[in-house]
Amino acid sequence: MSVTLGLETSCDETGVGIVADGVLLGQALASSMDEHVRYGGVVPEVAARAHLESVTAVLRQALSNADVSLEQIDAIAVTSGPGLASSLHVGVSAAKALALALGKPLYAVHHVAGHVAADTLEHGPLPDRSIALIVSGGHSSLLMLGDLATDPIVHLGDTLDDAAGEAFDKVARLLELPYPGGPSIQRAAAEGDPTAVDLPRPLLGKVSERHRYAFSFSGLKSAVARHVQLARRTGAPMRAEDVAASFQEAVVDVLVGKAVAACRDHGIDTLLIVGGVAANARLREVAETRCRAAGITLRVPAPRLCTDNGAMIAAVGDLIVRSGAKPSGLEFGADSSAPLDRSLLVR
């Protein structure tokens, strides 16, 4: 058995997780989210300082929760990209210090590969082939996966503009709902009518082959902005709950529609939905219904494993370690815009 410790600091969550042979032994998380609320979004300097202040305590807490000592750690994995540069630096430096002090191998991993691996902690190993819909604050892509540790990650389609989570955050701001926008929209939408506002389903339906699996959310956000501005100018009645519900429904329709089409077209019967937006209750519900109807096995991690955490980085690290891959060494740096083509970024 090998024990892998994972460190995540790419945005506003400081996470440490410990995984052994696909099993989560324990994890701990600190968030600077509350410090960003009054700015309406993550302030990089504030996030980086918060990581620095909490990383040691989070590490100690994770070890204690897992009932594992530092000496029992066999390997360390860290998010080296993508994300906020100053935040990534804190995790990368901490991971290097640990690796050096303990004399253990260090692996630089892609944040999004961690989101995918999080699901294996709950639902076991991935099948030989699967499709993943990654929907987070920075990514919206449909990916074709083989062995997550060793195979290249094939992009079927990506967003042409905003990521899904970014769209949730921007629309929440338009509706004067608090940051982070996703959970705020979900809460408001629960009290609203999803058919109240007629909103577009961008790139869904008849589109060119090139855009069959691509996403675009900025036009949808602009449609919401126009609706809100018109109502404010003319004094027409407008319930934020109805707008939130209509927006959420449009995003969910597009995401699930394209993901199911991708599985059908490629003859793949396992769909994973991962990343912060996968915590969305309506997305989970609609995906469940449409996947069941299409004979697709749907895998979505529990909501607390969808948003950023350390367990997901330990999970992808554990898969990489068990594949026998060569460690990344200590010379690499953080890469804020790391491309998503492999789970192990520095080989």
Interhelix angle 218-234/164-174, rounded to 10 degrees, is: 10
> How many degrees, rounded to 5, is the angle at CA 173 between CA 169 and CA 174?
120
Say how far apart CA 137 and CA 134 lie, in whole Å: 10
Nearest approach in angstroms of CB 300 to ligand KG4 is 12
User: Binding string, 130-159, against ligand KG4, x = CB under 6 A?
Assistant: ------xxx---------------------
Among 169, 242, 249, 335, binds ligand KG4 (CB under 6 A): 169
Q: Could you tell me how far CA 176 lies from the centroid of its own chain?
A: 24
Q: Is 275 in the site for ligand KG4 (CB under 6 A)?
A: yes
Residue 21 CB, nearest distance to ligand KG4 (Å)? 25
> Does residue number 27 form part of the binding site for ligand KG4 (CB under 6 A)?
no
Tokens 């998380």 found at: 29
**Least distance from ligand KG4 to the Cβ atom of residue 182, Å:** 2
Residue 165's binding partner among Zn ion, ligand KG4, none (Cβ under 5 to 8 angstroms by kind) is ligand KG4
Number of H helices, E strands in the chain: 11, 10
Distances (CA, A) of 175 to 169, 220, 226, 243: 10, 14, 12, 8
14: contact with ligand KG4 by CB under 6 A: no
CB of 141 to ligand KG4, least distance (A): 12
E strands, the chain, in order: 3-8, 13-20, 23-31, 75-81, 106-110, 130-135, 140-145, 154-158, 270-274, 297-299
Binder of ligand KG4 out of 91, 165, 192, 327 (CB under 6 A) = 165
* Using rule CB under 6 A, residue 17 touches ligand KG4: no
Which residues contact Zn ion by CB under 5 A? 136, 308
Which residues bind to ligand KG4, rule: CB under 6 A? 11, 136-138, 165, 168-169, 180-183, 186, 275-277, 279-280, 307-308
